[in-house]
Amino acid sequence: MFTVQQHDATMPARAGMLKTVHGTIETPAFMPVGSLGTVKGIDPDELQSCGYGLILGNAYHLYLRPGHTLIAEQGGLHRFMQWPGAILTDSGGFQMVSLADLCRITEDGVGFKSHLDGSWHQLTPELCMDIQVALGSDIMMMLDHCPPYPSTESQAREALERTTRWAHRCLAVPRQDHQLLFGIIQGGVFPHLRQEAASQLLELEFDGYALGGLSLGEEKATMFQIIQDVTAKLPLDRPRYLMGVGLPEDLVEGVCRGVDMFDCVIPTRHGRTGWLFTSFGRVLIKKAQYARDEGPIDPDCACPVCQRYSRAYLRHLFVSNEMLGVRLNTLHNLWYYGTLMSKIRNAIRHGQLQEFRTQFYQARDPHGQDVSSDTVCV
């Protein structure tokens, strides 16, 4: 299932292979988010051209629309969306935070009012598994209780203890032979709770382990320390997944601390808002300075957008609210993320991750996102 092929000599980073029935994924890997069965504006062929073999769907959203039973009738999520690669489905636990005003959490599960029509639903750990089994995803996530930020220590403890109890219930649900199940480590920003949560889930022998409840507003240094502490406790032969993170520098720092998998809406959402990622930082394409700029977004980028279109044209599309502009922005950002992860993997395999990390920050705009000074890996 998962094999580590190369360890970095100075940091916990590693390069590996995650085998699924829908292809083998090289790690560290980033997963584009396709909550509703599509990565917004991008078709499957384009996703593959960007180097992706694994994407994320959301059980909560697909349960509400069009329904997991309908998708099962259509042959499963892969066939429904015509995606030949692997799919990881999130359980919907994060929606407890993002849609907190619509949810009520009990020991049985999560009661929630649909954000679509106001109808009431009860998402139990068992139903969460049943939904993902019906979708046919390659990697399923257990239902977890994700505490909001900030939370008190008692609130974080309550969430992690409930998550552990739900973990037992999720594991008891039969699933298809090819489906892997990951556990989710909670505990808020409290190091001892994170360690306790990890210990409890390690006893249950999940196929992989995820860190949930991060990047919710805590300081970056706090997030990085939690990642470093928790990954050090996890088994070497299981993939480690940092949920909902993040910016390019977050991926670099997460890999340096031993993370194998990431997902985030940032590249697609930023594409829709005109923020474009480059080797030298971020470009806000709507700025007037690009109105007559004939150059590509990034001269060092090999994506189809940079090879064909100018900044001036992309700015015109964006300020004119043309759909093509959003599509091209998103395609470029996804290509950037795919290329970044490929470079990180190559650096690990050649024993050059520290050099890559240094060059990554040196190349960025001095007014951009350089966080290297306060994110030292040990």
Question: Is residue 73 within 8 Å of residue 142, measured between CB atoms?
Answer: no
Six-digit token string for 93: 């636990």
Six-digit token string for 140: 């399923």
Catalytic residue among 130, 138, 144, 263: 263
Has 263 been annotated as catalytic? yes
CB atoms within 10 A of CB 154: 8
Six-digit token string for 299: 């001269």
Largest Cα–Cα distance of the chain, in whole Å?
Answer: 61
CB atoms within 10 A of CB 237: 10
Residue 240: name the closest of 24, 16, 5 by CA: 16
Q: What's the CA dihedral at 237, 241, 242, 248 to 10 degrees?
A: 90
End-to-end CA distance of the chain: 29
Cα 24 from Cα 27, distance rounded (Å): 10
Cα 281 from Cα 85, distance rounded (Å): 30
Helices (H), ranges, the chain = 44-49, 59-64, 68-73, 77-81, 95-98, 125-135, 153-171, 191-202, 220-231, 248-256, 266-272, 304-308, 311-319, 323-349, 353-362
Has 90 been annotated as catalytic? yes
**3-class DSSP state of 240:** strand
Cα 122 from Cα 109, distance rounded (Å): 7
Cα 237 from Cα 46, distance rounded (Å): 32
Catalytic residue among 8, 90, 144, 298: 90
C-alpha distances in angstroms, 85 versus 24, 53, 92, 134, 159? 9, 5, 22, 17, 33
The catalytic residue positions are 90, 263
